[in-house]
A and B are shown apart, each in its own frame.
Chain A
Amino acid sequence: MTQNSYADSNIRWIYPLPAILFVALLMVFPVLYTTYISLTNWTLTSGAAPSFVGLDNYAQVLIEPRFLQALWRTMVFTVSAVAVEAVLGVAAALLLNRAFVGRSVVKLLLLLPLVATPVAVGIVFNLFYDPTIGLANYVLEALGLPPSSWISAASTVIFSLVVVDVWQWTPMITLIVLAGLAALSDEPAEAARIDGANEWQIIRLITIPMVMPVIITAVILRLIDALKTFDIIFAMTGGGPGYASETLNLIGYKYSFEYFRMGQAAVILVVLFLVVLACSVAITRLNKRTAT
């Protein structure tokens, strides 16, 4: 137990230093490097040395219909998936927030989608959506509805992908809100009950407002992750049919690792990066204001 007073009094930067260096080396530096590449006309296939072209790539990529559609589609996918997840997730949490037989089993079941390997989840849903042998059309038929083309038509593919995201991530919101509900005090609800409020009024006017900060945090986490969805879309459609399910992430991947147009790919990555950063900052600000 020798006292090393120098290390000891500087522990507040010695301890985090390796982690910080690692993050700087593997994240901060690469992001700066990507930004630099976005200003060059580098294509890996041509073999020519990259030369500085200023904002040319931005001028080209940012007006491409394929890029603009991917940007719009990313927003549509993210907002619709998270909206559905928020409503269903909170509803399920309110439903399960009581003592009942089998509660612990149901909570365990809710964990399973969250840890299920996304690629495998995508593959199973591909089997569901298969036009000739899929369970999805079997269910529609059983309900007397016409079959759908699911992921094989441009008009339905995004909706079908949202369904998968909703299946996998609604439980996340449910579990977070359940934990939030467990931390609430019973007193306000009890007082209202004595004053003659009915259960629905208590949920709407007392429980939900009290747990709101937790709901908002859960939704923020989900929004940021949904913006970055890659595995599911890549495994299920590869961005198709045509370009119909290409999000920013997909198109960034293709420009980088299929076309090797590094300069243009970097523009897309910078945009994606900025969108995620802007959303993170905006919603954290918003959260702070509503929480206080």
Chain B
Amino acid sequence: MKKVGLRILFYAAVVLLAAIVLLPFLWMLISSLKTQVDIVAWPPKFVFSPTVQNYYKVFEEQDFIRYFINSTVVALFAVGVSLLLGLPAAYSIARFSQKRLALVILLARLMPGISFLMPWYIIFSRLGLMDTYVALVLSHVLIALPIVVWIMSSYFETIPIELEESAMVDGASRHYIFLRIILPLSGPGIITATTLAFIFSWNNFLFSQVLSMEKTRTLPIAVFNFLSYADIDWGGVMAASVTIMAPALVLTMIFQRYVVSGLTMGAVKG
């Protein structure tokens, strides 16, 4: 009898936990399907007739597709450059246990972005790079690169060194080994790094807020600008929020296993 009671209590706790996690997502989705009249109703309406007019409005009026493309371009290039720079660095760090080197790159992960943003603003202005993809991509590489290095150096360490040694006996160069043996074996690690780097670039607000203007504005900034404090169009804002979150959430669901291992990796290794 006591056992059944504990079971029920346990599941109640789990359901409560899940409900708390889900509530903001659900409320965002529900509100995005409401008319303004239904949104401002008190007490809050849980039953209503859904409409997609908010989404229609977002894509129609707000030039949203352009911001969506901007975000995608910036994130893809940032991840690409980060892999190009980060994979060889991570390999070297893993094979030659370059702890200090790793620390320098990881500092970029620890330091507050705003402490290098002001100099960037000044320098990019002088170079005429404000509101260009170049400036945004460079800044986002600084977000993505430490993620790639952190995840991939841990991953490369798990690949048995015997593989390389036998290839070296056969006369293969280290460069050849890295390109033809190590990288092809690193698919799961690269998926993890790419997914997380993309998501964190996609979600970034601060860098784009300062370095982008009309031409290269990314989605988070566009959504934020959607808020006008005088009279908030909550339905539109919520539809915009759903749209901006969707890619990160979908990627996470597809690559669930990789995202978990990426987020927990460094901390558990000890």
Contacts and interface: CB of A to CB of B under 8 A. Distances in A.
Given A12-B92, A95-B10, A221-B267, A115 B118 contact: no
Which of B105, B145, B176, B260 neighbours the largest number of chain A CB atoms within 10 Å of its CB?
B260
A218 B240 CA distance: 32
Given A102-B14, A116-B245, A273 B256 contact: no
B69 interface: no
A92 interface: yes
Contact of B21 (A113, A120, A127): A113
A178 to B, nearest CB: 8
Contact of B118 (A18, A171, A256): A256
A124 interface: yes
A54 B148 CA distance: 40
Interface string B79-105: 000001110110111011010010011
B239 to A, nearest CB: 11
Contact of A95 (B13, B120, B203, B267): B13
Interface in A99-114: 100, 102, 105-114
A123 interface: yes
A147 to B, nearest CB: 11
Majority-rule SS of A interface residues: helix
Contacts of A249: 112, 114
A103 B256 CA distance: 13
Interface string B230-243: 00001001101100
Nearest to B101: A16
A26 interface: yes
B101 A20 contact: yes
A180 B249 CA distance: 25
Interface string A113-139: 111111111011101100011010010
A115 B268 contact: no
Contacts of A243: none
Interface stretch (A58-66, A75-83, A264-272): A264-272
A100 B14 contact: yes
B27 A234 contact: no
B104 A30 contact: no
Interface in B6-58: 10-11, 13-14, 17-18, 20-22, 24-25, 27-28, 31, 39-44
In this complex, the interface size class of chain A, counting residues with CB under 8 Å from chain B, is: 35 or more
Contacts of B118: 30, 34, 37, 256-257, 262, 265-266, 269
Contacts of A256: 114, 117-118, 121
B175 A31 contact: no
Interface residues of B, number: 95
Interface stretch (A153-161, A185-193, A201-209, A223-231): A223-231
B44 to A, nearest CB: 5
B189 interface: no
A15 B42 contact: no
A195 interface: no
Contact of B27 (A12, A127, A176): A127
A180 B269 CA distance: 9
A20 B115 contact: no
Contacts of B105: 19-20, 23
A34 B173 contact: no
Interface in B120-166: 120-123, 138-139, 141-142, 145, 149
Interface in A228-263: 228, 230-231, 234-235, 249, 252-253, 256-257, 262
B205 A175 contact: no
Given A8-B173, A37-B119, A95-B13, A138 B44 contact: yes
B173 A119 contact: no
Given A34-B116, A95-B14, A266-B118, A111 B268 contact: no
